[in-house]
Structure 1
Amino acid sequence: MPTILDVARKANVSAMTVSRVINGSGPVNEETRRRVEQAMKELDYYPNSNARSLVKKETRLLSLLITDITNPFYTTLARGAEDAAKRLGYRLIFCNSDEDPAKEKEYIEMLLSTQVDGVLFAPSGDDSLKNLRLLRKQGIPFVLIDREVPNLECDKVLGDSMLGAHKLMEHLIENGHRRIACITGPKHISTARDRLQGYLATLKLHDLEIDPSMIIETEYTLGSHQEVMQKLLELQTLPTAIFAANNFVALGAIKELRKHGWKVPEDISVVCFDDLDLLQDLDPFLTVAKQPSYDFGVFGVQMLVERILGTATSNFRTIVLPPEIIIRRSSRNINAALE
């Protein structure tokens, strides 16, 4: 990671002059200021907003950068990360990108300025690669959680999305469903691709028709999903079940079905990835592939601290956590109705 001394050498000025430019603490002529700022830019130098020090010191700070803090999956993951960080003697800074790579970049730049010791990172999508390369260029260790990014070797804690999708589809097929729609997430997100692949592979395994009109892409975030459901409800032959890529997608689908007078599961069954945890403790309803979200945070922080302390193996590691299939009232057996 470049230091203030590197900036001073490149700009051909003293470290004190660089400090004055950074802090606005003394007179610097405009030409000198321009050279210093250009050197900082070329070196990707980010001032330490905590210490403004010539010597980089360990901050005992970690960051958790996730995509949607309102999603119960990430809320529980954050709890696990915080508990693990505290146990290991670190503090945790929470950042929420809202699935926005531009906002994600802003947080990365802020974290570089703060000089955190490491980042636990749930990427907003494949475009996160350039942000992760910036962290690596600056020598900041990171661990990916929940999602992968193509063409990047690093430590990861992932769920088995293909396995979970396969098991949910097997549940529906065993219960008589043959026309199963898939509301998938954005194709630039690895979990969406894996869950769609699990859906398709299971249909092929059972020699069931793959109908492109019943595969619809939407966002992972909580919203009306009105247009998505409108496409399904306009089909000449409706699906008997919907496989939703995550819990928020499932909630949006159920809301729209009810708005149009369709009952779940009497008319259409709905299954999805990720549970709702505290949001549905009083009336558990959704059939889900529940991921151990707390463990994502715990394992992620443990791997990150090992990388920071230099106790990790030289090879990057991947932990894959299997989901638990929980059968509830949102899916039903239609075998009897088909006989």
Structure 2
Amino acid sequence: MTNIKKVSELAGVSTATVSRTLKSPEQVTEATRDKVMQAVKQAGYRPNWLASSVKSGKSNSIVVLVPNLTNPFFLRIIGGIEQAAQEKGYSVLLGDTQGDSKRENEYAGMVLSNRADGLIQLDHSFPFAPQDAELADNVPMVSVCERIEGERKYPVIELDNYAASRALAHHLVGYGHQKFAAIVGQISSQIYRERLAGIRSVLQEENLPLPDEMLVGGSYTIEAGIEGVRQLLKQPVRPTAIFCFNDDIAIGAIHEIKKYGLRVPQDISVVGFDNIKVSAFIDPPLTTVDQPAYDMGRRAFEVLSVLMRGESLTRIREILPFQLVERQSSGPVHSS
């Protein structure tokens, strides 16, 4: 088996530096880290994490709870978590919960039984069973995008959804739109509340309505976008612009709008949220808010690492930047 000495020779550094790079990559320079990781790959070296985990009483693994593994946005977050975890010698156990509380409880229970050292939650629910709530008080846990419900405030890596939605609303108002609708995601989450509040704040400033009957949806799926458009086009007044609370919804909405013989954006402008890869390649390419999903995942693991070491955080809420990406699915209002 290739040993650490071979890696040090290939990288041109000491065995101590190799060991430090593998265990605490943040303690070495980026150039050194790159040299060592390249040497590890070249040598085919496999660190003996199992031996160190037995010695330390740690599993060197974490659990990541995902509400829907088919969502491309979540996959980008997971990519960031995986990369950061691998650099620190951790394995990532994915739990595709499908929003099922029993599944969440089972996966979260792995941390309580020492089969995992920490947990990252990509949904807003508290993942532990009620009888385990007190035991979970000391569990290292971080959420991404959504804030975990309950009295205790867990660290969260998120976007300023209110500001991002205001940017989308300003974008559409600037094109002269006055008849709006929204196809929303889960109405029980703070993301729904903040995105809707951001949109409504701009429309109120402009004295423009967003009637309750023009709010439809309830899940972050393509099917929700399809059904949402069907409901909206039954209304007496057809919207000229539709806010979709994620890109999957927007893709479904555009598909269904076209089935009705309408054009995007000439008849109805559509905007999304997340900037998943396919959003740039649909017809027409989607105007959306870009979230730095990969960076959010990396940062979530970095924060979790601090908690797993038993250290304190300087802050428990980190807000990452967004960018409005304007493409061809939105445009000026056309006279009917």
Q: Tell me the TM-score normalized by structure 1.
A: 0.76
Structure 1 residues 240-251: aligned runs within 5 Å: 240-251=240-251
Question: Whole-Å Cα distance in 2 between the matches of residues 212 and 81 of structure 1?
Answer: 38
Q: Quick check: 1:176–1:338 contact (8 Å CA) kept in 2?
A: no
Q: What are the Cα deviations for residues 121-169 of structure 1, in whole angstroms up to 9, with x where unaligned?
A: 112x446475796385373210011101343311110111111111001
Give the AA of the match of 1:82.
Answer: E
Q: Quick check: 1:97–1:104 contact (8 Å CA) kept in 2?
A: yes
Deviation at 1:197, TM superposition (A): 1.1
Further displaced range: 165-174 or 284-293:
284-293
Change (3 A) 1:284 1:107: farther
3-state SS of paired residue (2:133): helix
Deviation at 1:114, TM superposition (A): 5.3
Q: What are the Cα deviations for residues 35-66 of structure 1, in whole angstroms up to 9, with x where unaligned?
A: xxxxxxxxxxxxxxx99xx9981111112112
3-state SS of paired residue (1:253): helix
Other-structure match for 1:122: 122
Other-structure match for 2:154: 154
Change (3 A) 1:132 1:82: farther
Other-structure match for 2:312: 312
Other-structure match for 2:269: 269
Other-structure match for 1:11: none
3-state SS of paired residue (1:273): coil
Q: What are the Cα deviations for residues 1-33 of structure 1, in whole angstroms up to 9, with x where unaligned?
A: xxxxxxxxxxxxxxxxxxxxxxxxxxxxxxxxx
The gaps in structure 2 that reach 5 residues or longer are 1-49
Other-structure match for 1:330: 329
Deviation at 1:333, TM superposition (A): 1.7
Change (3 A) 1:225 1:285: closer
Question: Whole-Å Cα distance in 2 between the matches of residues 135 and 298 of structure 1?
Answer: 28
Other-structure match for 1:91: 91
Change (3 A) 1:293 1:282: same
Change (3 A) 1:223 1:267: same
Other-structure match for 2:138: 139
Other-structure match for 1:70: 70
Give the AA of the match of 1:91.
Answer: S
Question: Whole-Å Cα distance in 1 between the matches of residues 265 and 284 of structure 2?
Answer: 14
Deviation at 1:217, TM superposition (A): 3.2
2:190 maps to 1:190: yes
Change (3 A) 1:241 1:294: same
3-state SS of paired residue (2:143): strand
Q: What are the Cα deviations for residues 197-256 of structure 1, in whole angstroms up to 9, with x where unaligned?
A: 111111112111232221123211332544422221011120001000111111121121
Question: Whole-Å Cα distance in 2 between the matches of residues 136 and 290 of structure 1?
Answer: 37
Q: Quick check: 1:274–1:290 contact (8 Å CA) kept in 2?
A: yes
Q: Quick check: 2:128–2:136 contact (8 Å CA) kept in 1?
A: no
Deviation at 1:307, TM superposition (A): 0.8
Structure 1 residues 35-114: aligned runs within 5 Å: 57-113=57-113
Q: Quick check: 2:66–2:96 contact (8 Å CA) kept in 1?
A: yes
Q: Quick check: 2:270–2:286 contact (8 Å CA) kept in 1?
A: yes
Question: Whole-Å Cα distance in 1 between the matches of residues 284 and 148 of structure 2?
Answer: 33
The gaps in structure 1 that reach 5 residues or longer are 1-49
Q: Quick check: 1:286–1:329 contact (8 Å CA) kept in 2?
A: yes
Q: Quick check: 1:126–1:188 contact (8 Å CA) kept in 2?
A: no
Identity among equivalent positions (%) equals: 29
Question: Whole-Å Cα distance in 2 between the matches of residues 245 and 311 of structure 1?
Answer: 36
Q: Quick check: 1:303–1:312 contact (8 Å CA) kept in 2?
A: no
Deviation at 1:312, TM superposition (A): 2.9
Question: Whole-Å Cα distance in 1 between the matches of residues 245 and 61 of structure 2?
Answer: 33
Change (3 A) 1:162 1:126: same
Other-structure match for 2:31: none
3-state SS of paired residue (1:210): coil
Question: Whole-Å Cα distance in 1 between the matches of residues 117 and 103 of structure 2?
Answer: 21
Q: Quick check: 2:58–2:117 contact (8 Å CA) kept in 1?
A: yes
Q: Quick check: 1:62–1:118 contact (8 Å CA) kept in 2?
A: yes
Q: Which has the larger radius of gyration?
A: 1
Other-structure match for 2:28: none
Q: Quick check: 2:79–2:297 contact (8 Å CA) kept in 1?
A: yes
Change (3 A) 1:148 1:325: same
Question: Whole-Å Cα distance in 1 between the matches of residues 99 and 267 of structure 2?
Answer: 33
Q: Tell me the TM-score normalized by structure 2.
A: 0.77
Give the AA of the match of 2:92.
Answer: L
